[in-house]
Amino acid sequence: MNRNTIILFLLTCLFMTACSDNDEPKDTDAITPITFGKRDYKVMFGKGAIIPFTDGGGVYELTASNPEVLGKFGIDVETNNRLYVQPAKVGESYLTIKDVKAEATVTLHFTVEDFYLPFVIDKIEGTNKNMFFAVGVTIKFIRNDDNTKPVKIECSRPMTFKVETIAEGHFNITHSDANNFVMDYSLHHSYGEDSKLYDYEYILGGDGEYMAMFDHIFDFGWEKNILSSKSISQPVRRIEMTLTDKSNGCKITCSLQQ
C-alpha cells in the first residue's frame, strides 16, 4: 500500500466519523422538572387549596414534614398539573415533591391559617371616622377554635404588593329590638407601641347571604325567621355587605372575596 493510498484511507475514516457524530440523534425526550410559581403558600383551614404547576415528568413522590397539619394532599391524576391540599389543622409544614422522571426535587412551605371570611372595602360614602378603613383594604373575620371572633385589617402596599396587617382586634354582631343587626369593632394598631383600642359601631345591610354565613360559621344562633327576613329570593353573583356608621351615617360597601 503506497503513501497516497494510506492518506486517502485515513481521510475517509475521519470523514465517516464526523458524519457519524453529526447524525447522532438528539435527545428530544428531555424532561423539564416540575415548576411552581412560588415556594411559600398560605392556605385556609377547612378549605381545600388548588395550586397549579407547569412541566414535570408525571410521576411524583410527596412527603410532608408535618402531615398532621397538611392533612390530605396529592397531584391531580387527570390533568397532572395541579397540586391539591386539604389542611387538617392550623400550623406550618413543608411539602417535598420528588419529580421521579426528571430526577429533581422541589420543597414548598405551607402556612395553614384559621378559617376566615374576607371582605374588601369597595366604596366609602360620607366622612369615614375609622382610621383603619379605606378603599381596598381587606377585613378578615376569623373563626378560631375558641370562637373569640378575632378580626384583622390588611392592605396591599402599592409598590411592593406585599400584604400587611395594619390592625387587629375583635368583632361582634348584636340583634336589636328594631330588627337591626349591629357590628361592633374593637381595634388596635398591629405595629408600634400604640395598644389603645378604638371602638366602632355599624348597622349592617346588603345581601342576606353573608348573614347566614356569619351565623353558621360563628354560631350566633339567630332565629331562622330573622335570617329569612334578611335574605333575598334569588342568588347573587357578588355578595355585598354594607356598614353604616351609627355616629354619622357614613356608608361603607364591602364585597366578599371568594
Average pLDDT value over all residues in the chain: 85
Residue 87 and residue 81 in contact, taking contact as beta carbons nearer than 8 Å:
no
Query: How many other C-beta atoms lie within 10 A of the C-beta of residue 117?
Result: 20
In this predicted structure, the answer to whether residue 71 has a pLDDT above a threshold of 70 is yes
Phi, psi of 59, rounded to the nearest 5 degrees = -120, 120
With cut-offs at 50, 70 and 90, classify the pLDDT of residue 74. Answer: very high
The Cα–Cα gap between 234 and 250 comes to 28
Model confidence pTM above 0.85: no
Do β-strands 181-189 and 198-206 pair in parallel, antiparallel, or remain unpaired?
Answer: antiparallel
Beta strands in 100-250 (DSSP E): 104-113, 115-125, 138-143, 150-156, 163-175, 181-189, 198-206, 240-245
Domain 35-113 sits in CATH 2.60.40.1080:
yes
- Of 99-113, 125-139, 155-169, least confident by mean pLDDT is 155-169
Instruction: Name the segment(s) of the chain with CATH classification 2.60.40.1080.
Output: 35-113
Strands 60-64 and 251-256: unpaired
Span 177-197, average pLDDT: 87
**Inter-residue long-range contacts of 164-173, CB under 8 Å, 24+ positions, other chains counted:** 165/190, 166/132, 166/137, 166/190, 166/191, 167/132, 169/197, 171/141, 173/204, 173/214, 173/218, 173/220
Residue 233 identity (one-letter amino acid) = S
Joined together, the cell numbers standing for residue 77 give 391524576
Q: What average pLDDT does this structure show over 159-166?
A: 81
The pLDDT, as a whole number, for residue 185 is 98
Cell of 105: 426535587
